[in-house]
Amino acid sequence: MKFAIRLIFLDMGDEMSAAWPYPRPDSPPLLSPEQAEQTLEVWLLPKFSMLTLFCMLEPLRVANRFGRDLFAWRLRSVDGAGVVASNGVRIEVDGRLAEVPDDAHLMVVSSYEAEATVMAQDRAVLRRVAAHGGWLGGLDTAPFILARAGVLEGHRVALHWESVPAFRRDFPGLSISRKRFESDATRQTGAGGTTGIDMMLDRIARDYGPALADAVSRQLVHDRQDVPADDEGGASDAFTTARYANLPRSVVKSLAVMEANLAQALPIPEICRLAGQSQRQLSRLFLAHFGETPKQCYSGMRLDWAQRLLAGSHCTVSEAALATGFTHPAHFSRAYRARFGEAPRDTAARGPG
């Protein structure tokens, strides 16, 4: 049996003249800054997340298909040489960071070891853009770089949930958001990964209206995420909701109490009281879902938090222990080595430096 594919093209004529028509079949080429209404400068750091970069750029590319030349972008590195992402793929860039205009729209994209290669002159570029009223953004761990440059004061900050404890420790004066991203007139920060899609859709909606943002979202086969306003805190609610979706209510309550009390460990009976569950029943549920008792799970959560502090900030081993409810350093070190296979001082030695 033979199969044939027949392509049929329809001439839609004037029907394509709506405000945001169906994308042109001849997708326009990548635009130059001279052709586009807006140009996004993107500073790539070594070991940046490729997923984050693509999720940020694709909504802008798709927006250009709807009959207008809206967005261009230029990739930057400190020295103008290509940058290797965390997946080992090398991306060539368009120029050096120092060449960005004073009034640039500049997005910083980083992931692992965000500040390892950042120099004082690089932070000076961020301050120059901020001083001239430019727009600055950062994805994943990039808010560390922006904050170190002193350009996030007065702005709520969103970043990857794993980086929250280290960020809070290094920048206690900044307001951390539980949202997946935060946007205002001159700053935009976000958790990285697929959050870049929603960040750019938000930008498109602000600048060109929700109809275009919705059309781009449909082209990307992406359901736009509504980000509820809430208080500052640690891991994002979106992450917590997804992780706890299929767990019993009392287990979810217990985990929420544990996460809210990492710095000063509560007794397990008190957690049971707050969760409205007997200790025997809660232990049975934890063993069934996690293979651990509530006490073991709670200890593991606090140790994971300590590891993030040691790996992502400049805190000492003693400070990390106290920040996660361990009052005896020897007990902390034993528990840490048992969980991660190394001493906490070894993790701290590989920190941001």
Per-residue pLDDT at 34: 87
Residue 59 domain flag: yes
3-class secondary-structure state, position 176: strand
Q: CATH number of the domain that 315 lies in? A: 1.10.10.60
Alpha-carbon dihedral sign for residues 240, 241, 243, 247: positive
Say yes or no: 40 and 187 in one domain.
yes
The total of structural domains in the chain comes to 2
From residue 247, give the alpha-carbon distance in Å to each of 198, 239, 244, 285, 286.
28, 14, 5, 9, 10
Residue 225 domain flag: no
* Percent of residues, the chain, with pLDDT higher than 90: 49
Residue 49 domain flag: yes
Residue among 172, 339, 327, 335 nearest 264 (CA): 327
Say yes or no: 26 and 92 in one domain.
yes
- Mean pLDDT, the chain, rounded, equals 83
Separation CA 131–CA 60 (nearest Å): 26
Residue 196 domain flag: yes
In sequence order, what are the beta bridge partners of 44?
109
Q: What is the DSSP letter of 111?
A: B
Chain centre distance of CA 158: 7
Asked if the model's pLDDT at residue 132 lies above 90, the reply is yes
Residue 229 domain flag: no
Say yes or no: 113 and 198 in one domain.
yes
- Three-state SS string across 299-333, please? HHHHHHHHHHHHHHCCCCHHHHHHHCCCCCHHHHH
* Residue span of the structural domain in which 135 resides: 13-219
**Phi, psi dihedrals of residue 336, rounded to the nearest 5°:** -65, -45
Asked if the model's pLDDT at residue 136 lies above 60, the reply is yes
Say yes or no: 71 and 177 in one domain.
yes
Which of the pair, 157 or 351, is modelled with greater confidence?
157
User: What are the tens digits of pLDDT across the range 261-319?
Assistant: 888 889 999 999 988 899 999 999 999 988 899 999 999 989 988 888 888 777 889 98
User: What are the tens digits of pLDDT across the range 212-259?
Assistant: 888 888 888 887 664 433 433 333 343 344 455 578 888 888 887 887
Asked if the model's pLDDT at residue 165 lies above 90, the reply is no
Separation CA 258–CA 250 (nearest Å): 12
Per-residue pLDDT at 176: 92
Q: Which of 92-96, 203-207, 321-325 is most confident?
A: 92-96
Question: Residue 216 contacts by C-beta under 8 Å, 6 or more apart in sequence?
Answer: 59, 62, 63, 66, 201, 204
